[in-house]
Amino acid sequence: MSRIRAQKLFPITKEVGDEYMRAMDKASSGRPHNGVVLESSPLPVPPITELKTASIEDESFSVALDSQSAEDLLVNGKQELYLYKSGGWRHPLILYVDGVVEEGNLGAIARSAYVLGADAIVTPTHHTANWSHIALKASAGAAEAIPVFKVGQPTDFLGKSSRAGWRIYASGAVPPASSMSASTGETPDAGPSKVVYTFARSTKRLPANHSPVAEHPTILMMGAEATGLKTGLLNLAHYNVGIPHGREVNEVGVDSLNVSVAASILCYEMLQKPTAQPEKDAADVLF
């Protein structure tokens, strides 16, 4: 058996016998460890108060750091400018995850966000799972490769970010279809997107070719596993986004996806580059 303790850049390795097995079980919270436990510094999760400006040209976005102790500063640092890949066309996409208490779900969200190209994750300091070793293992290392932030006052954070130009999308159930598009007055078609966008507090759908990140810096809010987003957060959203149910009749009452699966689908769809609309042939234009 072995127990490894990592201290900064100078790891100390100590081999121990079976008498340490109970201690190792406790250190790993009862999860399988195969006789090896690594103890390391916490994941850097800088506290921020708002998302500030974002630039497609500079491929960057900035944050406003909250106060932190000297010890936290050693772990989190004081970086305020972050780079992302804009591809010359898109603004950043940030996930705000509120109320997700299952650490495995939080880690799975981080894994999907990283693979699909989201640019950062923000969680509140209360009523949401911590970035524990369970969450980090579920993320398969992705949580250490994508910027992760925390906020103490979610409504203030979202309000300030909104005033800085970020637009907030609340994930939730798809409202009944209306007969006309809110912005164009046209009947919405299926289009290439598999998700449905509406204005906040409205059932009128946006055009099927709506692309959030092509239009503005975007915050996608994901809510709790069972209850979704709190009303106070929904009231701060500019838009709603939902994934349509694939069955006409819901026989067993399953009306939503697991939050990590929903986050994966929404990230994938929201980060798709919009396709140019084909120009109508002159012969098809009626005068």
CA R_g for the chain: 22
- The structure tokens 């303790």 sit at 5
Tell me the pLDDT tens digit for each residue of 143-199.
999 999 999 999 999 999 999 999 999 998 787 665 444 444 444 444 455 899 999
Collapse the DSSP code of 22 into the 3-class scheme (helix H, G, I; strand E, B; otherwise coil) and give the result. Answer: helix
Query: Domain ranges in the chain?
Result: 2-39, 88-270
Q: Return d(Cα 86, Cα 258) in angstroms, integer.
A: 29
Of 192 and 22, the one with more pLDDT: 22
Of 38 and 83, the one with more pLDDT: 83
- CATH 3.30.300.160 assigned to domain 88-270? The reply is no
Average of per-residue pLDDT values in the chain:
86
Q: Is the pLDDT of residue 206 over 70?
A: yes
Q: Return d(Cα 170, Cα 241) in angstroms, integer.
A: 6
Contacts of 102 (CB under 8 A, 6+ apart): 129, 225
| Res 277: pLDDT | 53
Contacts of 213 (CB under 8 A, 6+ apart): 90, 91, 92, 93, 270, 271
pTM of the model: 0.81
- The structure tokens 């490769």 sit at 145
Residue 284: pLDDT band with limits 50, 70, 90:
very low
User: Taking residues 252-258, what's their average pLDDT?
Assistant: 76
